[in-house]
Structure 1
């Protein structure tokens, strides 16, 4: 039976019945599984959004970290590649999370956009202006 869930049914399986679409198996991508996954995701997202309003003073502190994800993710990759604290995952998590939030809060209050976000924004702005100026007008 597990082969059917992995490779699909033989052409004559279930006589071409539409009941095959009602199979509920992990990662089957059948309509009922997708409906359940989307519904659960929407419910969790709605709950988090509601809780976000209640915990706004707490969430407001690490919010700058969300505005510079490219910079922080790049720093995370460099930290992980260095091998520092590789044998102590919980200490690594604490150091990285603490450093990321602290850096983001200080940087955001002193300078604004994250360093990589600023650089990427400058490059994309130049490309946008060049592409926009080289387009023939449609008048």
Structure 2
């Protein structure tokens, strides 16, 4: 049930350029919700020495290996792979081909908190060739 009175929020923020006074938007989407996070974890991260949590993933044909590591700020993709121990577990792994959240990056890329480092394997077959072969088989059936 909507009421004609506006809710009072204890936190006032500066709104964008269209409104020149502090306050919260009148859309009521922040009703009974926090405007800013007040969690202790965020406060501790700002005060404590900078550490980042990173996931390192290596997908094999039959399974996926995931390792979570805690690294100092400024660590690179190469550092994360070394600390994870995946290179020792899978010596055939090519660590020069890696990406963050699906985007290929060089090994010298600096990581951010909660990044997901993915180590890529070479493809077994060229995707264009596979599609071409599949299309030829389909045409042969017709």
Q: Provide TM-score, normalisation by structure 1.
A: 0.23
Higher strand share: 2
